């Protein structure tokens, strides 16, 4: 079924819905770190040790992320080959937004950010849990769970904070087109579309802004 | 008006082609764009040069033949018009105007500004029709009650003239606005519902075979369409396609 152009865009949209829900969940848990280190630690320990999350949701998430990126590249490649000779003069700004024309660019920035984010958080977690076999969430000789301290430590370096903030700006640009594009792709264009567009714009700005706030908060409060 | 025209010249489909510059004087702001091209061609013929080949027919915005990518936009900078309805008052004295053919793998250049748009015909042949008995006792279509909203939407979709501005404007050279208009105009009406599943599957399959790109919902097609065909049609086609794929035998 993925051989057809419409099937591919629907698949792209479905993976986007999944990732947008994941983003909300990620933001909600990270936001607790601003208010309570204890709550953040408890939630992180739960997410990090719950078998359903670790052995079912985590592989599903990895698949979703990989699928979205790979399909994005496949679509970009195919679309580029649909016009073998480019226009000498093209005024794309006259009829479409910058965000909609540059999803591959914002996507590539997000992909580069993912690499950094994986090196920062995900790979160390996988190493601790699956290679060293330590599922306790504590560091010997220290009190309480390690998650909050690790999070704060990562946001000490101003360059890393800057890179994170810049990546979230590109995430916002990606979502400003992607949120509503996903609905259009699955055929949802109806009386609710106008309202949904406003909600999509709010989502695309507020969610990345939330992540930026968290990064800056921990940078200035460590 | 005095203008500098930068026009794509290409001898045939095998030629590499390139931009050539033509200065033109005494252009009236009341001329249509095609009339301005006629004046230029008369000059070129007088000079013994090969005139510029471009598509045109009705010159009243109905047939969809005139194409041209003018200053980076299909049918030029005006909205809701074809090139024949574009007037020179949209430009200023001294302007440089780029004129190129519609570009897409599915629309190969035949000569200069003329492209082969028969891919659209083949998509139509794949399903853009209703099978009716034409033996002479065909039921009057007006005898079938149709909700006003559906009739209006079907009519709006049917105003697509198949000019290809959607493909030319789309950064992906996608033909989904055209195909969705053709799918919608039938699927909204009782006469078209009988073959709806087969129609959408076959037309999309043919569209893909012709080498048009994937829609990424930039909305450029809707803005540049001379008939204002809405993106709602693409969403409808996506729904129809999903329904037909999941429910087909």
Provide the whole-model pTM: 0.94
Residue of B nearest to A71 (CA): B214
**Mean pLDDT value across residues A25-34:** 97
Residue of B nearest to A181 (CA): B217
User: Measured between alpha carbons, how far is A39 from A31 in angstroms, rounded to an integer?
Assistant: 10
* A207, two tokens: 């969610």
Is the predicted pLDDT of residue A83 greater than 90, yes or no? yes
Rounded to an integer, what is the distance from CA B1 to the centroid of its chain? 29
Is the predicted pLDDT of residue A1 greater than 60, yes or no? no
Contact A95 B238 (CB under 8 A): no
- ipTM of the predicted structure? 0.93
The domain defined by A5-82+98-220 folds into: 3 helical TM bundles of succinate and fumarate reductases (1.20.1300)
Nearest to B179 by CA among B214, B152, B146: B214
How many angstroms away from the CA of A185 is the closest CA of chain B?
A: 6
> According to the model, what pLDDT value does residue A138 have?
87
User: Measured between alpha carbons, how far is A213 from A219 in angstroms, rounded to an integer?
Assistant: 10
User: Measured between alpha carbons, how far is B223 from B177 in angstroms, rounded to an integer?
Assistant: 11
* B18, two tokens: 């390139």
B5 touches chain A (CB under 8 A): no
User: Measured between alpha carbons, how far is B216 from B231 in angstroms, rounded to an integer?
Assistant: 12
B238 touches chain A (CB under 8 A): yes
Q: Is B4 helix (H, G, I), strand (E, B) or coil?
A: strand
Nearest to B232 by CA among A206, A23, A1, A184: A184
B8 touches chain A (CB under 8 A): yes
Which residues pair with residue B70 across a beta bridge?
Answer: B73, B99
Mutation pick from B19, B222, B238 vs chain A, by most beta carbons of A within 10 Å, is B238
Span A105-120, pLDDT tens digits: 999 999 999 999 999 9
* B204, two tokens: 């999309």
Number of CB atoms found within 10 A of residue A204's CB:
22
Q: Could you give all domains of chain B from N- to C-terminal order, each with its CATH number?
A: 3-111 (3.10.20.30), 117-247 (1.10.1060.10)
Q: Is A171 helix (H, G, I), strand (E, B) or coil?
A: helix
> According to the model, what pLDDT value does residue B248 have?
64
Query: How many Cα atoms occupy the beta-carbon half-sphere of B101 within 13 Å?
Result: 30
Q: Is B54 helix (H, G, I), strand (E, B) or coil?
A: coil
User: Measured between alpha carbons, how far is A159 from A51 in angstroms, rounded to an integer?
Assistant: 35
**Mean pLDDT value across residues A37-48:** 95
Contact A185 B238 (CB under 8 A): yes
* A185, two tokens: 């792709």
* B207, two tokens: 């569209």
Domain ranges in chain A are 5-82+98-220
**Mean pLDDT value across residues A67-71:** 96
pLDDT by position in tens, chain B (length 249)? 999 999 999 999 999 999 999 999 999 999 999 999 999 999 999 999 999 999 999 999 999 999 999 999 999 999 999 999 999 999 999 999 999 999 999 999 999 999 999 999 999 999 999 988 888 887 788 889 999 999 999 999 999 999 999 999 999 999 999 999 999 999 999 999 999 999 999 999 999 999 999 999 999 999 999 999 999 999 999 999 999 998 866
User: Measured between alpha carbons, how far is B212 from B65 in angstroms, rounded to an integer?
Assistant: 19
Select from B172, B218, B238 the Cβ nearest to the Cβ of A10.
B238
A123 touches chain B (CB under 8 A): no
* Segment holding B109, helix H or strand E: strand B109-111
> According to the model, what pLDDT value does residue A143 have?
80
B58 touches chain A (CB under 8 A): no
User: Measured between alpha carbons, how far is B243 from B246 in angstroms, rounded to an integer?
Assistant: 5
DSSP designation for B136? S
* Phi, psi angle pair for B8, to nearest 5°: -75, 120
Nearest to B209 by CA among B122, B127, B129: B122
Nearest to B66 by CA among B77, B55, B52: B55
DSSP designation for B29? T
From chain A residues 19-58, the ones with a CB under 8 A of any chain B CB are none
Contact A89 B208 (CB under 8 A): no
A194 touches chain B (CB under 8 A): no
Contact A187 B242 (CB under 8 A): yes
> According to the model, what pLDDT value does residue B249 have?
64
> According to the model, what pLDDT value does residue A211 have?
98
Instruction: Please report which confidence band the pLDDT of residue A2 belongs to, taking 50, 70 and 90 as the band edges.
Output: confident
Nearest to B212 by CA among A94, A84, A100: A84
Instruction: Please report which confidence band the pLDDT of residue A141 belongs to, taking 50, 70 and 90 as the band edges.
Output: confident
User: Measured between alpha carbons, how far is B96 from B28 in angstroms, rounded to an integer?
Assistant: 16
> According to the model, what pLDDT value does residue B136 have?
81
Contact B217 A184 (CB under 8 A): yes
Q: Is B22 helix (H, G, I), strand (E, B) or coil?
A: strand
A1 touches chain B (CB under 8 A): yes
């Amino acid at each position: 079924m993925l051989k057809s152009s419409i099937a591919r865009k629907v698949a792209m949209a479905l993976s986007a819905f999944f990732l947008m829900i994941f983003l909300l969940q990620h933001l909600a848990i990270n936001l607790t770190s601003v208010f309570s280190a204890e709550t953040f630690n408890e939630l992180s320990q739960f997410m990090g040790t719950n078998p359903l999350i670790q052995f079912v949701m985590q592989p599903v998430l990895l698949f979703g992320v990989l699928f979205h990126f790979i399909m994005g590249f496949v679509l970009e490649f195919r679309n580029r080959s649909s016009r073998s000779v480019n226009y000498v003069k093209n005024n794309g700004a006259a009829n479409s937004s910058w965000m909609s024309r540059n999803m591959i660019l914002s996507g590539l920035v997000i992909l580069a950010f993912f690499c950094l984010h994986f090196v920062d958080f995900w790979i160390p977690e996988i190493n601790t849990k699956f290679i060293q076999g330590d599922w306790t969430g504590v560091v010997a000789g220290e009190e309480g769970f390690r998650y909050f301290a690790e999070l704060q430590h990562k946001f000490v370096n101003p360059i890393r904070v800057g890179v994170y903030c810049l990546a979230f700006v590109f995430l916002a640009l990606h979502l400003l087109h992607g949120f509503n594009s996903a609905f259009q792709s699955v055929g949802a264009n109806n009386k609710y579309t106008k309202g949904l567009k406003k909600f999509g714009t709010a989502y695309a700005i507020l969610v990345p802004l939330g992540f930026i706030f968290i990064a800056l908060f921990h940078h200035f409060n460590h | 008006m005095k203008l500098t025209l930068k026009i794509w010249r290409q001898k045939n489909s095998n030629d590499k082609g390139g931009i050539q510059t033509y200065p033109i004087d005494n252009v009236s702001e009341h001329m249509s764009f095609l009339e301005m091209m006629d004046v230029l061609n008369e000059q070129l013929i007088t000079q013994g040069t090969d005139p510029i080949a471009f598509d045109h027919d009705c010159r009243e915005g109905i047939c969809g033949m005139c194409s041209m990518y003018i200053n980076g936009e299909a049918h030029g900078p005006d909205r809701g018009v074809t090139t024949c309805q574009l007037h020179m008052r949209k430009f200023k004295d001294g302007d440089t105007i780029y004129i190129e053919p519609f570009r897409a793998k599915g629309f190969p250049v035949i000569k200069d500004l003329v492209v082969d748009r028969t891919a659209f015909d083949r998509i139509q042949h794949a399903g853009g029709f209703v099978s009716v008995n034409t033996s002479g006792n065909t039921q009057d279509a007006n005898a079938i009650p149709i909700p006003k909203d559906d009739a209006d939407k079907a009519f709006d979709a049917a105003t697509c003239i198949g000019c290809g501005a959607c493909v030319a404007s789309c950064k992906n050279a996608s033909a989904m606005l055209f195909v969705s208009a053709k799918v919608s105009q039938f699927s909204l009406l009782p006469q078209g519902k009988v073959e709806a599943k087969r129609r959408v599957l076959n037309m999309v399959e043919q569209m893909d075979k012709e080498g048009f790109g994937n829609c990424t919902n930039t909305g450029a097609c809707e803005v540049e369409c001379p008939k204002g065909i809405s993106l709602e049609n693409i969403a409808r086609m996506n729904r129809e396609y999903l329904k037909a794929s999941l429910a087909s035998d």
